[in-house]
Amino acid sequence: MSNNFNIAVFASGSGTNFEAIAAACRSGELSANISLLITNKECGANLRAHRLGVPDCVIQYAGREGYDEFDQKALDLLEANNIDLIVLAGFLRRVGPKVLNLYEGKIINIHPALLPKFGGPGMYGLRVHQAVIESGDVLTGSTIHFVTAEYDKGSIVAQTQVKVLPGDTPEILAQRVQGVENSFYVSALKKLIPSLKNK
């Protein structure tokens, strides 16, 4: 289906959320094009992009200088592809200031906990679930939020809850949360995209 709303996904990991979003664009469930995948290293998400025929680009970088270069290269690609929305899906790097500036209000992220708890720098992957278990909380979940310069602090778009069960390890809890995230991300995008199209 042809659309005039273009999505770029940024990822660093296995890419299940990227694939779910790409599939929903392709099936017409989301009225958007999956235009581009950007990663900061070769990862599972790139393999999925190749299989699905989604254009992808690895922008590798190290250190502060590399970070500025990543920011500029990403911005060039976003502009060349007329991207309307950036979807972070397991992207474990900060979005650079140039991209943040030009795409203010048009970048969203998924975080595997109920923000504002268990977020911030260094809170990703199993560390998040470890912290949830150590806190004694009986509910965790997943949060979709706008991305701002302050890590995990942008306004919340949607949250879904997942139980923490006795005996959970970080690995088991991560699996339970990831089990709901793919469809949760797609349904949140379904509600969000029409409002962004009107901006």
Residues that contact ligand GAR, how many (by CB under 6 A): 17
Q: Residue 110 belongs to what H/E stretch? A: strand 107-111
The footprint of ligand GAR on residues 126-165 (CB under 6 A) is 142
To ligand GAR, the closest distance from the beta carbon of 14 in angstroms equals: 4
Of residues 111, 56, 49, the one with CA closest to residue 81: 56
DSSP state at residue 34? E
Q: Can residue 89 be called a binding residue for ligand GAR (CB under 6 A)?
A: yes
Identify each DSSP E strand in 50-155 by its residue range: 56-58, 85-88, 107-111, 139-146
Q: Can residue 96 be called a binding residue for ligand GAR (CB under 6 A)?
A: no
Which amino acid would we find at residue 8? Answer: A
To ligand GAR, the closest distance from the beta carbon of 142 in angstroms equals: 6
Token representation of residue 130: 């470890």
Q: Can residue 17 be called a binding residue for ligand GAR (CB under 6 A)?
A: yes
Of the ranges 16-24, 32-40, 65-73, 133-141, which one interacts with ligand GAR (CB under 6 A)?
A: 16-24
Task: Please report where in the chains the tokens 């469809």 appear, as a residue.
Answer: 183
Of residues 73, 59, 104, 98, the one with CA closest to residue 86: 104
To ligand GAR, the closest distance from the beta carbon of 86 in angstroms equals: 14
Token representation of residue 110: 């998924």
Select the residue whose beta carbon is closest to ligand GAR and give its number.
Answer: 90
Instruction: Tell me whether residue 111 is one of the annotated catalytic residues.
Output: yes
Q: Can residue 16 be called a binding residue for ligand GAR (CB under 6 A)?
A: yes
Question: What are the residues binding ligand GAR (CB under 6 A)?
Answer: 11, 13-18, 89-90, 110-112, 124-125, 142, 178, 181
Catalytic residues: 111
